[in-house]
Amino acid sequence: MRLSNISFAIVSLFLCQFVVVPVILDTRWATTAYGEDWPQWMGPQRDNRWRESGLLKQFPEAGPPVVWRAPVAGGYSGPAVAGPHVFVTDYVTKDKIEDENFDRKTLTGIERVWCLDRKTGESVWMHSYPVKYDISYPAGPRCTPLVDETRVYTLGAEGHLHCFEKNTGKVLWQLHLPTHYNTKTPLWGYAAHPLIDGDRLICLAGGEGSHAVALNKFDGKEVWRALTSSQQGYVPPLTIHAAGTRQLILLHPDAMESVSPVDGSSYWRVPYKADYGSIIMTPVHVGDRIYAGGFNNRNLMVQLNEKSPAAETLWQDEKKTALSAVNVQPFVEDGVMYGFDQSGWMHGVDFKTGKRLWESTAPIAGGRPGNSATAFIIKQVPPDDKDRDQERFWMFNERGELLIAKLTPEGFQEIDRAAVIQPTNSAYGREVVWSAPAWSNGHIFLRNDQECICIDLRAK
């Protein structure tokens, strides 16, 4: 394993002046053969595919070069990259942060939204607002900023929804979801990444008849509200096209449901039961099937009707089957689903049947992994057919390591790995970093509870 040189600035949580730490002399920003933004959670098409070529095949002996480091405070939210900017959110508090599952912790502090210069990491603008936390795992916001044209949307851990002018940080509108919809923040905070659908911003709000809401993305006014669930849940909304109909898939602790993304009217409902209200992953849609898996083997495979917007359960709650995904979105490739189970093991799974093809602890620890061990998975997909030999998987694990790998029905094959950022948070008695990276123009953008960094992954 090759280790990059990791140095960390000691930054006061209430630092007024934003200081960028330069770490290399060469900061040229020539693009790769092809590059695109990463403007939201899971990328531009929300599919965890990095459409890029001209990248490293293995890491340099000293590790991949760090372009810049910028100080941030606590948070699980990943960065978003759009045009010349990087957006990231954090939480500043003087209170002691204790990460004990199922226990709400009360803290006082401020949430911040940062806009950084993509090339240098310097602050372009910052917006802050006071927030009292009363959630489990209170380190900071969960949701990746969402960039759409000239606007950027952020959703804080206690349900503070903002729309900013992207270039200036001017607040265009804001809404506090728990107050507006007369509900309480879920145990683990607001964590379902919002979705843009046309002129609508779709969010999980919670409350009676308002599990999901669509807001006019320009002014924040409500377009529709739909569904009621016993608990709000944490699953990001998903749009699909099936039976000639665009459908919005909403998975909550009581059911998987399909509604119209235009007006919220119901298409179908399949019962589901989540333990402790804990269902996090976005349902995976492949062909005529949708899969979801949650805490304690609460899995569900649904078959879609090909002629009309309807669905039925194929199998459910099968032990040692498929994945009980907790923190990581599974990835499906050629009929095989790759991902991490609640146990921390990585599995390759036959998508249709849920049969486990193989398991491995190598991506994270090599030994027995910890509960909910996490590694984020994306696939590099070169846009030009002549570069197909560059296809590979990239993974970022909770230990702060970046991996290059092959994933096949036969197993996990590591090509290389490098330590790139320190795990500064904690979970289940171990140090972790639980934040999904952004991948854009030959670079990876990462954050922990101390800094946001940019690393150059281009082949030289």
pLDDT of residue 1: 44
pLDDT of residue 180: 98
Name 182's Cβ contacts closer than 8 Å, sequence gap at least 6: 207, 208
pLDDT of residue 426: 92
Name the percent of the chain in helix, strand, coil, to the closest 5.
5, 45, 50
Name 156's Cβ contacts closer than 8 Å, sequence gap at least 6: 89, 111, 131, 141, 143, 162, 190
What would the pLDDT profile of 420-454 be if each residue is shown by its tens digit?
999 999 998 899 999 999 999 999 999 999 999 99
Neighbours of 28 (CB within 10 A): 7
pTM score over 0.75: yes
Instruction: Look at phi and psi of residue 317 and say left if phi exceeds 0, alpha if psi is from -120 to 50, else beta.
Output: left
pLDDT of residue 8: 33
pLDDT of residue 360: 95
pLDDT of residue 446: 98
What would the pLDDT profile of 352-386 be if each residue is shown by its tens digit?
999 999 999 999 976 677 888 999 999 999 988 88
Structure tokens that stand for 349 in this block: 């799974």
d(CA 173, CA 115): 17
In the sheet that holds 212-216, the strands lie side by side as 195-197, 200-204, 212-216, 222-226
Name which of 407, 426, 404, 399 is nearest 415 in CA terms.
404
pLDDT of residue 27: 40
Positions in the chain whose pLDDT score sits under 50: 1-19, 24-34
Name which of 338, 382, 388, 380 is nearest 360 in CA terms.
338
DSSP state, 276?
G
